[in-house]
Chains A and B, each alone.
Chain A
Amino acid sequence: MSDKGNSKPVKNALEDEDEFEDFPVDSWPASETVQAFKEGDSCLWEEDWDDVEVEDDFTKELKRELEKNKQ
């Protein structure tokens, strides 16, 4: 019984997902689209994941840990 009581809020929370908002107008010209204002995808995305190296507390600590374990 208690399970039944608990399942309702979870179910509702799962269903309360935001729906795609309706646009106030149906049409607009190509010149006003996101595409027209960007020069391709490179304006949105970083494409250096293969090579990028970060130097922060996490990586420094990790390197220290590795150094300790190498000895």
Chain B
Amino acid sequence: MQAVLACFQLKQNNERLIDFIGYNTKRVANRLTDTTDEKLLNFVHNTQLLKDEWASSATHTAELFRLAQEQLKSLNRIAEWEPDWIVYPLYMCALQLFKIAEALDRSAEASSQTAKPGDLKQEGYLTQCGRTIHMSLNLCLKDRDPSATNKRYGAYYFALLLFKAYHKLRAHGLITNMVKVLESRSKELPSVQSAFGNRRAFTVTYCYYLGRYYACRKSDYAKGFHWLNMALMDCHTSYKNQQRQILVFLIPIAFLTNRWYPRNHVLNKCDPAKAGIDYRPIKTALLQGNLALLDQQLEHQQLPLLTRDLYLPFSHLRPYVILRLVKLVWKHNHSNWKLPTALIATAIAFASKNSTTTTTAATSSDKSPANDVDADLLDRTECLIANLINKGFVKGYLSHGNRVLVVSKTEPFPRLVRKNAI
């Protein structure tokens, strides 16, 4: 116990304290004559009760959760007046509460299948745990100590746990609020990488969740790419599962931000059986201008895309596939600056049909194919082209009267690929 108390006196973390926090480690002999600090006594008392509960129940109980929550609350009260050293022990305490809550919610979910209709749904443990961890986040953020030993960097540690908890609860509103608070305080906080230092597992996980938030919830692909790329770059080379999980998001976002598409060895890391999403046909669609293939994939992979909030980013790939087609038609038309809308419409109609229907369409329209392109199709094609012009993908204008796309002679298709600075 002396070693534990010494941490608070010397303001230094050590293994003994981390060990003491654990509910499943041995009870420490109570020799509390060395301190009169009420907050500290309270923390020690709560921790001993927690250990006793585990010793008698040996399973995750509601009481174990309550005591772990009391333990974190009492350490929160101490932490308010402590400098940076307290962050890691406080994090370990919060992590422990998170794990108990996770286990309890899991078993509650299993037993909820036996719940009768009309039973009131109780508030989940993870929700309660989130509120207590949020206090830890706030006390770090509100640390006004101007010295280098302030604990503001700790905000990232608790944000990391809250990302996990909110993500599990699918509490997107809470994630948005938390990110907004962190954004508003960004000037007072160190960088993520310096806050976590060598604890790169934390950096990777934090950046993964933040990247997903920007890319999939806010459609801010540039920020999404920044954070997801940082997650991948900091990941350990041997942890292939985590790399795959990051790549599932990074692959579409890298295209939407920079028009970069994955090399084959990167695609191989994303085994569709494990990743849940098959990127190979998507890559083909983007290279060929194959609209039917893209649409077919959007339909086939709808559920895995929706569960990962990737459906919207995927649908944003469509204009690029259309652009590919327009470019192909332009080249086929000897790079002429006047491009008949009918020709583009033909290409779009062809690329929108799968191979079997294409054959049928081709045979049925062999009388005078150009005239078969009806006004409605031309109007829809003009709409698609107008969108490309509006996005800056095509430089030119539409002549509706002549049903022609007139493209710039100098730069009809501005370069969209962002060149790597390295």
A positions within 8 Å CB-CB of B: 13-23, 25-29, 32-50, 52, 54, 56, 58-59, 61-63, 65-71
Chain A residue at minimal CB-CB distance from B276: A18
Q: A33-B235, A44-B266, A49-B416 are in contact. Are A13 and B346 (CB under 8 A)?
A: no
- A47 to B164: give the CA distance in the assembly, Å: 34
| 14 A-B contacts (beta carbon < 8 Å) | A13-B303, A25-B201, A26-B200, A27-B199, A27-B201, A40-B420, A41-B420, A45-B260, A45-B263, A47-B419, A50-B413, A66-B333, A67-B332, A69-B346
- A41 to B413: give the CA distance in the assembly, Å: 25
- A69 to B347: give the CA distance in the assembly, Å: 10
Chain B residue at minimal CB-CB distance from A23: B201
CB of B416 within 8 A of CB of A50, answer yes
- A46 to B263: give the CA distance in the assembly, Å: 6
In angstroms, how far is the closest chain B Cβ from the Cβ of A8?
Answer: 10
- A45 to B235: give the CA distance in the assembly, Å: 17
**Main secondary structure on B side of the interface with A:** helix
- A71 to B252: give the CA distance in the assembly, Å: 39
Chain A residue at minimal CB-CB distance from B250: A44
Chain A residue at minimal CB-CB distance from B233: A35
- Kindly identify, within residues 335 to 376 of chain B, every residue whose CB is under 8 Å from any CB belonging to chain A: 342-343, 346-347, 350-351, 358, 362, 366, 369-370, 373
- A29 to B181: give the CA distance in the assembly, Å: 31
B positions within 8 Å CB-CB of A: 164, 167-168, 170, 198-202, 204-205, 208-209, 229, 232-239, 241-243, 245, 254-255, 258-263, 266, 276, 286-290, 303, 306-308, 325, 328-329, 332-333, 342-343, 346-347, 350-351, 358, 362, 366, 369-370, 373, 413, 415-417, 419-420, 422
In angstroms, how far is the closest chain A Cβ from the Cβ of B63?
Answer: 26
CB of B266 within 8 A of CB of A62, answer no
In angstroms, how far is the closest chain B Cβ from the Cβ of A69?
Answer: 5
CB of B415 within 8 A of CB of A47, answer no
Contact among B233, B259, B332 for A34, CB-based, below 8 A: B233
Q: Which residues of A contact B415 (CB under 8 A)?
A: 50
In angstroms, how far is the closest chain A Cβ from the Cβ of B296?
Answer: 13
Q: Which residues of A contact B242 (CB under 8 A)?
A: 20-21, 23
In angstroms, how far is the closest chain A Cβ from the Cβ of B244?
Answer: 9
Chain B residue at minimal CB-CB distance from A58: B288
CB of B307 within 8 A of CB of A16, answer yes
Q: A16-B307, A26-B202 are in contact. Are A59 and B288 (CB under 8 A)?
A: yes
In angstroms, how far is the closest chain A Cβ from the Cβ of B103?
Answer: 14
In angstroms, how far is the closest chain A Cβ from the Cβ of B340?
Answer: 9
CB of A54 within 8 A of CB of B288, answer yes
- A47 to B254: give the CA distance in the assembly, Å: 10
CB of A27 within 8 A of CB of B200, answer yes
CB of B351 within 8 A of CB of A34, answer no
Q: Which residues of B contact A71 (CB under 8 A)?
A: 370
- A49 to B245: give the CA distance in the assembly, Å: 24
Interface centre among A21, A23, A39, A52, by most chain B C-beta atoms within 10 angstroms, is A23
- A62 to B287: give the CA distance in the assembly, Å: 14
Chain A residue at minimal CB-CB distance from B243: A34
- A20 to B254: give the CA distance in the assembly, Å: 20
- A19 to B245: give the CA distance in the assembly, Å: 9
CB of B254 within 8 A of CB of A29, answer no
Chain B residue at minimal CB-CB distance from A35: B233
In angstroms, how far is the closest chain B Cβ from the Cβ of A29?
Answer: 7
Chain A residue at minimal CB-CB distance from B293: A58
CB of A49 within 8 A of CB of B235, answer no
Chain B residue at minimal CB-CB distance from A10: B303
- A60 to B407: give the CA distance in the assembly, Å: 24
CB of A65 within 8 A of CB of B362, answer yes
- A13 to B307: give the CA distance in the assembly, Å: 8
In angstroms, how far is the closest chain B Cβ from the Cβ of A18?
Answer: 7
CB of A44 within 8 A of CB of B263, answer yes
**A-B residue pairs, 9 tightest by C-beta:** A45-B260, A40-B422, A23-B201, A35-B233, A17-B307, A27-B198, A69-B346, A49-B259, A26-B201
Q: A18-B276, A34-B233 are in contact. Are A42 and B420 (CB under 8 A)?
A: yes
